[in-house]
Amino acid sequence: MNLSRFTLILTTFFGLSCFAQNKIEFTEYDLENGLHVILHEDHTTPIVTVSVMYHVGSKNENPDRTGFAHFFEHLLFEGSENIPRGKFSEYVENAGGVLNANTSNDRTFYFENLPSNMLETGLWLESERMLHAKVDIKGVETQREVVKEEKRQRIDNQPYGSIVTEIMKRAYTVHPYRWPVIGSMEHLNAAQEEDYIDFYKKYYVPNNAILSIAGDLDIEKTKALIEAYFGPIPRGTGDIPTVEDAEPPLTQEIRDTVYDNIQLPAVVQAYRIPPNGTDDYYAVSMLAQLMSQGESSRLQKKCVNETQSAMFVGAFPFGLEHSGVTLSFGICTNDTDPKDLENEINEEFEKLQLELISDKEFEKLKNQIENDFVSSNSSIMGIAESLADYEMYLGDANLINTEIDRYLSVSKEDIQKVASKYFVKDNRVVLYYLPIEESENGE
């Protein structure tokens, strides 16, 4: 039975025209104060997601106040003029909802998932956060300690937890991507009252935010409620400083060793890549997928299944607003020399520069992209976030429906081209993670 041949014929026959897609309808507009609003209506389940994305992340921080954007995310759950300390989460939980937030290099995202009759509560909470958040000394001190514990738990006490930090500080010399989102604890300690006020006034303003709501809602009623809760919030008075994408290219390979509390060595490579949304980025992203998505992907097949030099291996593009990196990461199996694993990984990248990928592999990539694209819109929470992401980074929320075309217009030659352009020795940082000591405890 030659299944693969059969499928190939079928796929070629149907071509690209039958890609499965359910179009996401949405409405978008600006309030007078500059707040961009996106609404998506879906009555399948009686729930709603209310989210606000602020265009501020760690790259907007002062070099002597790193970690501030993420710290702010913690502080903005403390309360507001009308919400006493500790009640923010209680309101949401009492409403039967869940809430959370996260901060990246480029933006900060807050959301509530609520039963749909609680939509107004979500609007109230988010508008309070934008209009007049309030943080007292106890709140600042508590959250500072909480962030320190978060850092210990996620980075210091986690095997390989410092990889991103160690990579980024070597991959960038000028651009604020060089420091980690969690930032410096000393900087947080040093922060003064005016730092908080400045940051809030500068970035937490309607003209720097997107309100994205999805779920069981009525568009007109929701618009009226949004006007009532967010309309009176004043537009920010100052300019919102922009950060330049001005990092000079790497000119030669940077190599280093990090000793960590780990048992198995790891090889980490970071190749500098162009920003999210550029033509080359889509080709880079498909290249990474070819390398590591699925058991038949090249790195997986080679290093995990054939030579068995890796426990785990993968390549992941960090699609950032400015020039980012693709991280390739492999954990050695017991007794494998990291040098050997690195050579295998390098060979696979070099192969892409020398040979075009096969038609069959190319079809596979497209099929995987279609599957991922369809799956990504399976929850209203995911839809609300994607709409805001596309609007914020690429200025077009409708990419939620059309971004797949950008992937599908990438050719095999484009993949070869970006392999030669970006996945080369002089454009990478290589780190070996080695165990601090060979502990034999419990073997």
Hey, which residues between 161 and 190 contact another protein (CB under 8 A)? 184-189
Q: Rule CB under 8 A: choose which of 58, 108, 276, 293 binds another protein.
A: 293
| Minimum separation from the CB atom of position 52 to another protein (A) | 16
396 near another protein (CB under 8 A): no
3 near another protein (CB under 8 A): yes
Sign of CA dihedral 133, 136, 139, 140: positive
116 near another protein (CB under 8 A): yes
Q: Rule CB under 8 A: choose which of 264, 400, 415, 418 binds another protein.
A: 264
Residue 391, by phi and psi: left (phi above 0), alpha (psi -120 to 50) or beta?
alpha
Q: Rule CB under 8 A: choose which of 29, 46, 102, 347 binds another protein.
A: 46
> Residue 146: helix, strand or coil by DSSP?
helix
Range 340-369, binding another protein (CB under 8 A) = 360, 363-364, 367-369
Which residues on adjacent β-strands are paired with residue 98? 113
The contact pattern for another protein, residues 372-391, with x = CB under 8 A and - = no contact, is x-xx-xxxx-----------
HSE toward the beta carbon, residue 295, CA cutoff 13 A = 2
Task: Supply the DSSP symbol for 83.
Answer: S
Q: Which is nearer to another protein, 51 or 323 (CB)?
A: 51
CA-to-CA distance for 129 and 78, rounded, in angstroms? 9
Range 306-345, binding another protein (CB under 8 A) = 308, 311, 331-334, 339
Q: Which is nearer to another protein, 60 or 80 (CB)?
A: 80
Q: Are the C-beta atoms of residues 64 and 76 closer than 8 Å to each other?
A: no
50 near another protein (CB under 8 A): no
| Minimum separation from the CB atom of position 376 to another protein (A) | 9
- Tokens 């995990």 label which residue? 304
227 near another protein (CB under 8 A): yes
HSE toward the beta carbon, residue 241, CA cutoff 13 A = 11
User: How remote is the C-alpha of 431 from its chain's centroid?
Assistant: 22
420 near another protein (CB under 8 A): no
CA-to-CA distance for 238 and 346, rounded, in angstroms? 48
**3-class SS string, 328-393:** EEEEECCCCCHHHHHHHHHHHHHHHHHCCCCHHHHHHHHHHHHHHHHHCCCCHHHHHHHHHHHHHH
| Minimum separation from the CB atom of position 361 to another protein (A) | 9
Q: Which is nearer to another protein, 218 or 280 (CB)?
A: 218
Q: Which is nearer to another protein, 157 or 402 (CB)?
A: 157
Q: Which is nearer to another protein, 118 or 171 (CB)?
A: 118
Q: Rule CB under 8 A: choose which of 102, 294, 351, 411 binds another protein.
A: 294
CA-to-CA distance for 172 and 159, rounded, in angstroms? 23
Q: Rule CB under 8 A: choose which of 12, 62, 173, 305 binds another protein.
A: 305
Q: Which is nearer to another protein, 84 or 413 (CB)?
A: 84
Q: Which is nearer to another protein, 257 or 420 (CB)?
A: 257
| Minimum separation from the CB atom of position 135 to another protein (A) | 13
Q: Rule CB under 8 A: choose which of 12, 173, 343, 371 binds another protein.
A: 371
DSSP string, 151-220: HIIIIITSTTTTHHHHHHHHH-SSSGGGS-TT--HHHHHH--HHHHHHHHHHHSSGGGEEEEEEES--HH
Q: Which is nearer to another protein, 46 or 411 (CB)?
A: 46
Token pair of 110 as six digits: 């807050």
CA-to-CA distance for 109 and 435, rounded, in angstroms? 36
Q: Which is nearer to another protein, 275 or 316 (CB)?
A: 316
Q: Rule CB under 8 A: choose which of 61, 106, 128, 321 binds another protein.
A: 128
Q: Which is nearer to another protein, 351 or 360 (CB)?
A: 360
255 near another protein (CB under 8 A): yes
Q: Which is nearer to another protein, 289 or 323 (CB)?
A: 289
Amino acid type, 85: R
Q: Are the C-beta atoms of residues 323 and 264 closer than 8 Å to each other?
A: no
The contact pattern for another protein, residues 11-40, with x = CB under 8 A and - = no contact, is -------x-x-x------------------
